Amino acid sequence: DTGVSQDPRHKITKRGQNVTFRCDPISEHNRLYWYRQTLGQGPEFLTYFQNEAQLEKSRLLSDRFSAERPKGSFSTLEIQRTEQGDSAMYLCASSSSGQGRQFFGPGTRLTVL
Amino acid sequence: KNEVEQSPQNLTAQEGEFITINCSYSVGISALHWLQQHPGGGIVSLFMLSSGKKKHGRLIATINIQEKHSSLHITASHPRDSAVYICAVGYGNKLVFGAGTILRVKS
């Protein structure tokens, strides 16, 4: 197993466009997390899935953000009508129930022009 | 007030020096994590601990639950240790992160 993967690694878009990111967790992990990290800051929690159920969403996740994990495997994070303030690194992590350690993907760096 | 505070924010050391990074938190936690982030974004988990002390190679992590404080020590530091070190606390189903400590080790 090669760990958590994310696609794309970089995305440049114009303000107002929609973007979608994908995360493939470690195959046996049932928990999946999305975080956002801006320059010079630590990551901030966005949302959490256990299997296909989205169990928690941060207040940071406005109505323009939606995340899915349809079959309890890969997950997508969509941002609609992007704004310049959405520019950040979007990180995905996965873990197993009962194991607190999270394994992180390489991140998707979004730049909104 | 941030729930997780790290100090120092920036640290420059000479190769071979003993390094300490501190983390204080204000929320009740399930565990505390130390993470390493290299330029380009990749985050690697170094330690997860809920009590006492853990050691891995030249890295040592300690936690004092009563004082809500943890330290990460690096012995015999090396330029390849240069990275951002992030403290995070397990809080419910998520991690709450500190802002990170930027470490530069000069040869």
Band of the pLDDT at B105, cuts 50, 70, 90? very high
Question: Are B93 and A56 spatial neighbours (Cβ–Cβ below 8 Å)?
Answer: yes
Chain A contact for B60 (CB, 8 A cutoff): no
Full pLDDT tens readout for chain A, 113 residues:
579 999 999 999 999 999 999 999 999 899 999 999 998 899 999 999 999 999 999 988 889 999 999 988 999 999 999 999 999 999 999 999 877 889 999 999 999 99
Among B31, B41, B44, beta carbon nearest to A89: B41
Joined tokens for residue A95: 């873990």
For position A40, what pLDDT does the model report? 86
For position B94, what pLDDT does the model report? 85
Strands B4-7 and B19-25: antiparallel
A41 and B90: CB-CB below 8 Å?
no
Residue B54, min C-alpha distance to chain A (Å): 14
Separation between Cα atoms, residue B46 and residue A113, nearest integer Å: 35
For position A61, what pLDDT does the model report? 84
Quote the DSSP letter at residue B15. Answer: T
Band of the pLDDT at B2, cuts 50, 70, 90? low
Residue B24 has pLDDT above 80, yes or no: yes
B42 and A109: CB-CB below 8 Å?
no
From chain A, the residues in CB contact with B44 under 8 A are 104
Separation between Cα atoms, residue A49 and residue A44, nearest integer Å: 16
Residue A17, min C-alpha distance to chain B (Å): 24
Separation between Cα atoms, residue B29 and residue A87, nearest integer Å: 30
Position with higher pLDDT, A85 vs B39: A85
Chain A contact for B61 (CB, 8 A cutoff): no
Separation between Cα atoms, residue A20 and residue B27, nearest integer Å: 33
For position A9, what pLDDT does the model report? 95
Amino acid at A83: E
Question: Are A52 and A67 spatial neighbours (Cβ–Cβ below 8 Å)?
Answer: no
